[in-house]
Structures are given as C-alpha cells and as structure tokens.
Structure 1
Amino acid sequence: MYVDSHCHLDFPQLAENLDEILLQMKQNRVGCALVVSVDLDDWPGLMKLVQPHPQLYASVGVHPDYEKITEPSVEDLLSRTQDEKVIAIGETGLDYFRKPEPLDWQRERFRVHIRASKASNLPLIIHTRNASADTIRIMQEERAEQGVMHCFTESWEVAQAALDLNFYISFSGIVTFKSAQDLQEVAKKVPLDRLLIETDSPFLAPVPYRGKLNQPSYVVHVAEKIAELRGMTAQQVADVSTRNFFNLFNKIKNKSDLML
C-alpha cells in the first residue's frame, strides 16, 4: 500500500472529479491520503469532502502565502482538532519567494502553528521556500517537537537540521525531475525511518506526467524514483513510507479499514 502524505483534493480541479480520483487511488494501491488545509475559510469544505471517505484525512492550518486574512490563534486551531479526521496542524511555515519584507506576520503565524502542534500533540506540516534558515531557527526557538518538512527541496544540511528536531522529510514529484540532481542526492541520504512520499497535487506531477494535473495515484512514481535512487524496490519504499506515515500521524486508529 502507498500513502499520499500531502495533497489538496479540495481544490476545485480535483474536487470536481473526486470519484474518479478515488477510483484511481484504489487501482494503484494508494490506500490513504492526507488532504492538507491552506486556510480556515475553506476548511469546512475540506472537512465535508473528507468525512464520507475512510481513506481520506485532514489537517487544519493556514499557508504562509495567504496574506490579509484573519490570523489563526492557537485556540482557533485547537478547536478544530477535536474531529477524529483531523490528524495534523498545517500547512504552515515560511515562504519568502513571493512576498517581500516585512514578513513578521508570516513568522508569527508560523510560531502560532508550532504552539498549536505542541498543545494538541499533533504533527506539524511545514512549507519552506527561500526561507530555510529562518524556518529552522524558529523551529528551534519554539522547540517544535514533531512533524514533516513537506515537498522538500532544500539541501542536505537543512534536512539534517530538521531530522535533528525529530522531523520527517517528504519528497514530491520534484524528485523525479532531471533538473533535481541535488535533491536526488538528499533522497539517497534521508534515513529510511524518516522518509515520506507525497504528490502535493494538483501541483508538481511527477515524470511521466510532468506539466499535467497531479493526483494522489501518481505518488507511485515518486516511490519508484526513490527506489531507483536507493537500490530498492518500489514495494519496499511503499512499505517504509506507509509505516512512517502511520507512526507520525498516529491519531489514525482505524488502519484496518484502509486498503492494505
């Protein structure tokens, strides 16, 4: 069984074809997917989407790109973690690629999510882009305890710093790109017990679907590339990453109800 540890099935281009996407997941042995929140206004719709489906789970959080919104408080986030489907806080983090300074609001939002993660004992889903030094610094200052660096594209040194904080490293379709040689070297080094795979769909479709709409069933191609890089079989990567997913997102109790 494969698990897509990060996707956005509530985005319109996927939500409107949900039945077909779930069928493709089943046919490709993708037995579980985590549908990740990007803002609180759309979060009720995300929850409505995942509720009927035992193979879908949710997070709650606000993406760092979302500006001029009502800022979430720790209490806002905690109040939404009571639902059994909510297994993580995020996605959160820092993104300096699109936004100019001052970005104090991003950094404070990140701290709020870390505090909510610690208070709820739920893993943190971290997005970082062009901001790795500040991301690690704030994680250290706030004593972040558990979570995943999602869609990882940083150096081995950044990966090591996150691993030292008990975080997992998740690889998306980017690892299949010919231009991603540095990232592929990181994928060879991450300890197997800290490795996750994801699609980040509808974005970043892996080879051979690069440039097309992504979906959770394509996580198989991420596993195949990592297997190639590490001299393993895709099934071994599937087994390891699935075990890691359930170890990290351990609020999930009904594993036997999923496609095993």
Structure 2
Amino acid sequence: MSTQPIGIFDSGVGGTSIWKEIHKLLPDENTIYLADSANAPYGLKGKETIINLSIKNTEYLIDKGCKLIVVACNTATTNAISILRETYNIPFIGIEPAIKPAALNTQTKAVGILATKGTLTSELFHKTTNLFASNIQVIERIGEGIVELIESGQLYSNEMRGLLKVYLKPMIDANIDYLVLGCTHYPYLIPMLVDLLPNHVKIIDSGEAVARQTKAVLEQHDLLNTKRVKSNIQFFTNGNPEILQSLLESKYKVEYLDF
C-alpha cells in the first residue's frame, strides 16, 4: 500500500497551496489532486450539501486507490471530516484555520481571520476559537467573492485588491498583529496581502503544518513511500483546466474530469 497515491481534494484550485507543501516535504509520494471547481465555493453551501460533495470526492479518490486523503478545504473539513472518518477505513487529514498559534503569540491581543462563511459558522471553528482565543479580540471577515475571483482566473485583479482593502480595514483599525488565512485559496493572495497590511502583521496559513501532519500519519500507519522512483503526480478538475494549470509548473498536466 505504501506506493499508492495520496488523494487531495478541494472545492477548487486553492488546495494546490496544500499540495505544494506536501510535495515539497514528501517528494517521493504519488499524489492525485481533485478540484471540484464546478461546485466552488463550498463556503456558501449548506452543511448537507458540503457533506455530500465531500463524500463524492472521497469515493472518487478511493476508487483511484488512494491510501490517505487530505481534505484540502477548510469548509469541507469543518463540516464533513468527522462523517468521512466514520464512513471510510483510511486516514484523513483535515485543514483548520491556525487560530491557535495566532492567539498564543499575539502581542497586540488582536488577530484577524479571513475565511469562508462555511468555516466561520462551523461548530469546529467556534470550539477552537473559544478554547484558544477567548481572552483576545478576534476580527472575523467572510472573504465573500474571493474564491469566485480566483476560480475565474482573476487572482491579481483590481477587483480582488478592492475586496481585500475592505476586508482588511477593520483588522488594521483594531491593530492586529496576526492574520489567519482560513481558506486554502487564500495563500495565493499573500503577495497582495503583504502589500496592503502594516509591516508588523504576520500571515499564517496551514500548509506546512498539514504537510507535517500528513507525513506523521503516513509514518504512524507504515504507509510512507520509500521507493526512490519518480513520483506520479495527477491533477483533475471539473472546471476550466487552464485556471488550475496557471497555478502549477508547466511540467504538470491538468486533466478535465466530468464529475
């Protein structure tokens, strides 16, 4: 089983930010990335819909022989991962906004979180926030429209910049010193965010932590691929392949999938 692929799915192209960290840490692992762009964004959908889409994605990856699945979507993790773990007999890695390190390290006692509605309203997010951030100010903003712009190839557009200015203003006014990115699409905004935020604000995303957790779980289950052969990397999308391709090196090929 160790040579079987790691499966990674997201509501669209954003989870490639997670895939890149996993591939960097575990270059020998075969991976299959599944972008459900036709149904993006998940953040505006109801819990039942999110669960059903997550099950559909999971079953596709299991059919492809995946040994472990990374739910590279904050909204799918917070709404569906407990169901997936109960239903399928393989390990799952989830993505949670990194509110804990921000809350523990803030000096100004104010942190910002930019995330989807589906993540910010989830039970898991509220539980984590109450546990680690009850004594600090947390400025939450729903990143309405961000995923849609990224999925339509308008990552560095003037419209995106305008949205970010609006979402960041109350955080800057509250003197945050940490900004937590609560959606796997958002790390692609970091160059723009750095430009818009004061210099002292640190930006946290979950990519490296998820890669380390993936490695730890593979080791725990004796599933690490130790064969030193060229890894097989596959990308599938039910959206526009060019959008996904634009976030990847040209050596990787994106295949359209009608699902």
TM-score by length of 1: 0.34
Larger radius of gyration: 2
